[in-house]
């Protein structure tokens, strides 16, 4: 197994992390998860553009070009002989004695690894649908940045699992934002509803693809925040993410209680997504 460390692909056994990495002290870093289908990175350009955006928003100087990152990711996938799975890449603000104040001279630290994912397992779940736990969004106000600070997300995910749900759906003062690691879509009267790409959500790459596919299928789309109780009147619901693709929700528990069937629009988008990725 090989991993990525700065601009080198090294054996995982030789990789070490620094105690004084600001990623450990402050969660001062960003990341991306890129899907690999048939040994090829999917929408790598979009993910790397978002990584660069996250870096800019945090005044973090990446000091590496998109082309170099692309080459490194391709090499890592090849060396690990990964056919289906994901690449995780992370960039922290670098190593320095613990101090809240960062200096712009520090060298960011890039690390990355690959992980296998079971396409089979995912597709079975996509046919059955999942349960979602509706709970408070306790995160900060820059959810548009793909930061490695994920406490609000991991707390919500644990809470969901404790209630036998596979994902947490978050609301801020009663308005639905997104999932703990996904974006939420509702369908009502043939129209798709999802939160707009503001500072309150991560603008998912899968979300953007689904919006594009929905447009080409001529579905009506509304990118507006909606109150959580609207879920009770929805015809269909699904979440999107790099790892889950288009995943139907068949049950909401917690802050909203309702059951749903997997509907025709969700199925059409699932089909369209499978075509798009091949």
What would the two tokens of residue 168 be? 């947490």
d(CA 165, CA 152): 17
Count of residues that interact with ligand PDD, criterion CB under 6 A: 15
66 a catalytic residue: no
**Contact set for ligand PDD, span 182-211 (CB under 6 A):** 182-183, 202, 204-207
Asked whether the beta carbons of 135 and 170 are under 8 A apart, the reply is yes
Of 12 and 154, nearer to ligand PDD (C-beta) is 154
Which residue in 33, 58, 117, 230 binds ligand PDD (CB under 6 A)?
Answer: 33
CB-nearest residue to ligand PDD:
204
Asked whether the beta carbons of 183 and 136 are under 8 A apart, the reply is no
With CB under 6 A as the contact rule, which of the stretches 52-60, 180-188, 246-254, 259-267 interacts with ligand PDD? Answer: 180-188
With CB under 6 A as the contact rule, which of the stretches 21-29, 63-71, 95-103, 236-244 interacts with ligand PDD? Answer: 236-244
Which residue in 28, 167, 178, 236 binds ligand PDD (CB under 6 A)?
Answer: 178
d(CA 168, CA 137): 10
Site string for ligand PDD, 62-101 (x = CB under 6 A): ----------------------------------------
Sign of CA dihedral 122, 124, 125, 126: positive
If binding is defined by CB under 6 A, does position 135 make contact with ligand PDD? Answer: no
Tell me the C-alpha to C-alpha distance, in Å, between residue 223 and each of 2, 77, 158, 168: 41, 35, 28, 20
User: How many CB atoms within 10 Å of residue 116?
Assistant: 12
Is residue 240 classed as helix, strand or coil in its secondary structure?
strand
Of 16, 146, 212, 257, the active-site residue reads 146
Dihedral pair phi/psi, residue 158, rounded to 5°: -65, -45
Least Å distance, CB 196 to ligand PDD, is: 14
Binding site for ligand PDD (CB under 6 A): 33, 153, 178, 181-183, 202, 204-207, 240-243
């Amino acid at each position: 197994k090989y991993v990525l460390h700065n601009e080198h692909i090294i054996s995982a056994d030789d990789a070490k992390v620094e105690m004084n990495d600001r990623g450990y002290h402050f969660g001062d870093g960003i990341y991306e998860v890129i899907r690999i289908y048939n040994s090829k990175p999917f929408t790598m350009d979009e993910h790397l553009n978002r990584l660069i955006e996250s870096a800019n928003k945090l005044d973090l100087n990446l000091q590496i070009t998109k082309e170099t990152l692309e080459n490194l990711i391709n090499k890592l996938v090849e060396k690990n002989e990964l056919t289906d799975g994901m690449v995780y890449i992370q960039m922290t603000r670098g190593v320095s004695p613990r101090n809240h104040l960062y200096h712009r001279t520090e060298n960011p630290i890039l690390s990355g690894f690959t992980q296998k994912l079971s396409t089979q397992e995912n597709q079975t779940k996509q046919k059955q649908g999942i349960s979602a736990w509706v709970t408070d969004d306790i995160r900060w106000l820059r959810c548009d940045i793909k930061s490695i600070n994920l406490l609000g997300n991991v707390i919500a995910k644990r809470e969901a699992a404790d209630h036998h749900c596979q994902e947490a759906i978050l609301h801020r003062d009663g308005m639905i934002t997104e999932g703990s690691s996904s974006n939420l879509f509702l369908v009502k009267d043939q129209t798709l509803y999802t939160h707009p790409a503001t500072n309150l959500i991560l603008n998912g790459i899968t979300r953007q693809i689904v919006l594009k596919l929905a447009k080409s299928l001529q579905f009506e789309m509304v990118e507006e925040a909606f109150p959580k109780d609207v879920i009770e009147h929805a015809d269909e619901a699904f979440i999107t993410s790099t790892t889950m693709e288009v995943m139907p929700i068949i049950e909401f528990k917690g802050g909203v209680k309702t059951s749903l069937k997997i509907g025709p629009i969700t199925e059409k988008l699932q089909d369209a997504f499978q075509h798009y990725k091949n």
